[in-house]
Structure formats: C-alpha cells, structure tokens
Structure 1
Amino acid sequence: MRKIILNVAVSMDSFIEDANGAYDWCFMDQDYGMKDFMNRIDTIFFGRKSYELVLKTGLGYYAGYKHYVFSKTWADSSTNNFTLVNKDLSTAVANIKEEARKDIWLFGGASLVSSFMNEGLVDELMLAVHPILLGSGKPLFQDLSARTKLALTDSKTYDTGLVQLQYDILK
C-alpha cells in the first residue's frame, strides 16, 4: 500500500513559516535528500493556499507529478494541472491511494496537515529541522485531536546544522 508522507521544512520551534508568511529561512544550498524523495513519489497533495503559492512561482520542481488540491472553497477550474478534491476526505484519499503507483507527498499547508493527521491518513513524517528559532509564525501542527505515537526510522545531520528526521506513524 502506498504511503502518505508529510515532508516539510520546520524551524527548531516548530514553525513552517515566519510571522510574515516567509520561508526565506529554509536552506536551499544543497539537495538535502529531495531528489531521492521525489523519485519515491508520483503524487502530491496540496491545500488551496499552498497550490496557489506553487502556481505563482511556477510548477518547475513539481511538474511531472499528479497534483490533487484539497479545497471546499476553490471555484477556479481554469487550469487542468490538478484534480480538485472537495468531498469526503477519507474516501477520496483511499481512492487516490489505489491509483498511485508510488508514495504520495502531503505538501501542506497547515490546515490540510491537521485534517490528514486527525483522520489518521498520514503514514510517515519527514521533518527537515532547520537550526533557527523563529519565535512566531505558523505552527506545523494545529488543532490535533489526539496523541500520535511515532517511531524514528532514520535521521541525518548535515554540515549546515539541518537535521532530517524520519518517523513512521504508529497506528
């Protein structure tokens, strides 16, 4: 069965963006395992805001993958670059997992991550923990409805101080 993997950059104090919504603190000086990760997936799940951000900067890195945008408010169907999912989350995800040949990247944003976590749909966490304290911003996990136990499966420390942590979610 394909895995849904939350792979995200996070500050030491668990923020995914700063108070101004910026990501300029994320290291971009090397690959940090992304090439291997991108070879592992064939599908990407986006929330509406995250996908709009990707569209503004161009699909580039994300081209060639099947895109699903989860939104109950997006009415713009002017692009054929994605499939809009606006119905029952668990049923839609189960159907998509059957179609996918490889694993699936849960790209985010924060609201979508919370929904997936609360529905028990995430199988694995990959956290690129950056050596910075932002002090405020958007937290990675918001409004979780239950404790979630994790098992560390891998870790890697880079010379920049970034630590890549990989966990299976115990169900």
Structure 2
Amino acid sequence: MKNLGFRRACCRFPIDWFDQASIMSRELILKMSMSIDGYVAGPNGELDWVFRSSSEASRTWLIELLGQAGLHAMGHRTYQDMAGYWPTSPLPMARPMNEIPKVVFSRSGKISAPDIKAANGEGRPAIDDTVLESWRNPLVAGTDLAADIQRLKQEEGKPILAHGGASFASSLIAANLVDKIILAVHPVALGCGLPIFAGLDKPLDLRLEDLIQFDTGAVVKIYRPA
C-alpha cells in the first residue's frame, strides 16, 4: 500500500462514512479549515495560512472528500469567492467543485452575479458552458435557514457538504443543523480572526469519530454531535 503521508489515529468507524450516511439519510457535513487557536479565517477573511501546510496527501484527501458530496452549500460571500476562482482553476479539486451542484444561502434570498473571468494564463482551462451554468445559476436558499436545510436533507442524494464562510457555518452550528463537523486544523496560531463557535448559547458536546494526521502537521478531526 502506498504511503500518502498521513496516518489515522483512530478508526473505530467505517472509513467510507459518506456512503454509509447516504444509505440512512442525507446528512449535512460542515468542513472548515481552522487554526490551532480556533479561527477559520483572519480578521478580514484571510485564508493564505491554509496553504502553507498543504501537501500531496492532504490534497488527495480533499479531492476524495469533495467528490463524494452530492451538493455543495455555502454562504453568499464564499460563493462569490469560489465562483471567481474554481471555473478556471487548473487544480485537480476544481473538477468536483465545478461539476457538483451548489446551493447558496443568503438571508435575503437573493444573490449578486459572480465575477467569473475568462480563462487566462498558462495551464488554466477554458470555461465550459456547463461549468458556467453551475456557478451562475445555483440553487438559492436561506430566508428560513432551518426549513431550507431540512428540505434539502429530505431530498435523495449524497450528503450536503457545507464550506462556510464563518457566518454561515456559525448559523448552521447554532441552529443544530450539522450532522458531522470536519475540522482541518493547521499548525498556525492567528491570534485573532473569525470563529465559528462563538454563537453558541450553551456548550456543544462532540464525539470524535476519526482523526487523520498529515506529515505537514495538519490534523483532520471528524466529529459528530454527542
């Protein structure tokens, strides 16, 4: 077996948790990168620190994770950022981001058109019409967060994978809508930034389901509500 540069610290549950979940019900899985002091972004949304502990192994893990989702869920700002990047990205994880349907959550129920630029630069692919449609016309929800999430969970398909940003993730957690939390903890302390657990009105007990350690020092922690 090829060593991809990571090791599991506990494997008491099936590794292919996405397939297991889709058999029982459609789950909402929140995946966030996090600093060791609990921030998912810098004070102004900075995410450059995430890439410093990236590796071939962590990218392979991420591609597999993205590809097993049935729907990508995100807040409005994250949607704008992703729509401006993924359609012309040459990275391998662009394919599952571009091909899998999206739902964008906006409190107003409206979104502004994303700034999708034409491909430019060596190695950047031309934008396929299907990819453009996927990003320009996502499902829009969010006027009633709990009701919209429950409706999406009742639909058939693979799990819903939520990407953030911080405000959207906080709202999901505070409303007890998340079935699984995947935290990719990077070996960096930010000192200040955007948290996702600050909106809790009482402690949230979690059960560690799995833990993956990468050689770069990044650790993926997979939790379920206890």
Q: Which residue of 2 aligns with 1:57?
A: 85
RMSD across aligned positions (CA): 1.9
Determine the C-alpha separation between the residues in 2 that align with 1:58 and 1:39: 14
1:1-171 matches, within 5 Å, as 1-27=25-51, 28-32=54-58, 33-59=61-87, 60=89, 61=94, 62-73=97-108, 74-76=110-112, 80-170=136-226
Determine the C-alpha separation between the residues in 2 that align with 1:71 and 1:21: 18
Cα–Cα, structure 1 residues 162 and 86, in superposed 2: closer, same or farther, change >3 Å? closer
Contact 2:79 2:104 in 1 (8 A): yes
Moved more, 115-124 or 54-63: 54-63
Cα–Cα, structure 1 residues 103 and 31, in superposed 2: closer, same or farther, change >3 Å? farther
When Rg is computed on C-alpha atoms for both structures, the one with the higher figure is: 2
Contact 2:36 2:186 in 1 (8 A): yes
TM-score (norm 2): 0.69
Determine the C-alpha separation between the residues in 2 that align with 1:100 and 1:53: 28
Structure 1 segments (4+ residues) deviating >6 Å: none
Contact 1:90 1:121 in 2 (8 A): yes
Determine the C-alpha separation between the residues in 2 that align with 1:65 and 1:149: 32
Deviation at 1:110, TM superposition (A): 1.3
Matched length: 170
Identity %: 29
**Unpaired segments ≥5 residues, structure 2:** 1-24, 115-134
Deviation at 1:76, TM superposition (A): 2.8
Which structure features the higher share of helix residues?
2
Moved more, 122-131 or 99-108: 99-108
TM-score (norm 1): 0.90
Residue-by-residue CA offset, 1:106-126 (whole Å, 9 max, x unaligned)? 111111112111221101111
Contact 2:36 2:188 in 1 (8 A): yes
Deviation at 1:144, TM superposition (A): 1.4
Cα–Cα, structure 1 residues 104 and 156, in superposed 2: closer, same or farther, change >3 Å? same
Which structure features the higher share of strand residues?
1
**Unpaired segments ≥5 residues, structure 1:** none
Contact 2:42 2:194 in 1 (8 A): yes
Q: What is the letter of the counterpart of residue 224 of structure 2? A: D
Deviation at 1:77, TM superposition (A): 6.0
Q: Which residue of 1 aligns with 2:22?
A: none
